[in-house]
């Protein structure tokens, strides 16, 4: 069931989204060669504490997970696509890092992700990230009243495939509101004019995930959470929480 949010509720979700945006900005600023992923998690925790917000990630345990998630960010490095658990790993020059973060504030959730390179970037990594960001922008542009979920999926998938990148099947965006994960699912590839119609008050987390080699294969790491590319190629993940309104898409997690 899809809950349509009131304009007042969307404003409240914007406040949660701004906490997420501040957390991601702080993590990005702190990320440097030699900094550990656990230290980045602590940076995000401090932002949440200052905002009197909680984390929808911490302790989250979906049906596939062997253990509750132990952190407030997902930190996925190089060949990790999504759901990376922060560890004592210290960032190295040239690492491609994807950070996913959420916040719960006033009973409402926000969810967003960004990818960046630490230190000296590889041109291929910059192109991968830039394409992921263009795919996200295309998905948001398609998130308008009168379109359908398939239009968002098609917009994202077209940018990804035209760039020569792979898309991990079965993972994508989702509805969001009082809970981090709500209906409807938002695939990263699909046919236009198919799926649920988009209506004023729907709020979606739109999140392209790209595999650099162009192949779609992935596997679950031994931790039971992290998804990794099968061929060791690098991946990027970007995301915004977006409200569908009669005046156009409203990005609630803008940084």
- What is the tens place of the pLDDT at every residue in 47-104? 999 999 999 999 999 998 999 999 999 999 999 999 999 999 999 999 999 999 999 9
pTM listed for this prediction? 0.97
pLDDT tens digits along 94-141:
999 999 999 999 999 999 999 999 999 999 999 999 999 999 999 999
- Model pLDDT, residue 79: 98
Domain range summary for the chain, segments of one domain joined by +: 7-251
Cα separation, 20 vs 241, in Å, equals: 10
Query: In CATH, what class is 7-251?
Result: alpha beta
The mean per-residue pLDDT over the stretch 193-210 comes to 98
Say what the pLDDT of residue 235 is. 98
Would you state the pLDDT for residue 11?
A: 98
Q: What is the tens place of the pLDDT at every residue in 11-51?
A: 999 999 999 999 999 999 999 999 999 999 999 999 999 99
């Amino acid at each position: 069931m899809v809950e349509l949010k009131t304009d007042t509720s969307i404003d409240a979700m914007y406040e949660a989204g701004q906490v997420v945006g501040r957390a991601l900005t702080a993590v990005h600023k702190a990320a440097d060669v030699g900094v550990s992923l656990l230290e980045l998690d602590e940076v995000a925790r401090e932002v949440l504490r200052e905002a009197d917000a909680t984390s929808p990630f911490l302790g989250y345990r979906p049906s596939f997970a062997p253990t509750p998630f132990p952190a407030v960010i997902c930190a996925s490095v190089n060949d990790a696509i999504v759901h990376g658990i922060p560890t004592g790993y210290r960032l190295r020059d040239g690492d491609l890092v994807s950070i996913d973060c959420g916040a719960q504030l006033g009973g409402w959730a926000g969810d967003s992700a960004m990818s960046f390179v630490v230190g000296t970037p590889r041109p291929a990594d910059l192109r991968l990230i830039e394409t992921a960001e263009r795919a996200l922008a295309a998905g948001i542009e398609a998130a308008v009243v009168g379109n359908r979920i398939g239009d968002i999926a098609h917009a994202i998938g077209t940018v990804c495939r035209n760039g020569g990148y792979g898309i991990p099947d079965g993972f994508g965006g989702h509805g969001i509101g009082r809970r981090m994960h709500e209906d409807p699912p938002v695939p990263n590839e699909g046919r236009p004019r198919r799926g649920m119609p988009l209506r004023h008050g729907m709020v979606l987390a739109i999140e392209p995930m790209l595999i650099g080699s162009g192949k779609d294969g992935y596997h679950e790491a031994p931790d039971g959470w992290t998804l990794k590319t099968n061929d060791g190629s690098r991946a990027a993940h970007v995301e915004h929480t977006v409200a569908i309104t009669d005046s156009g898409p409203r990005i609630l997690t803008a940084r």
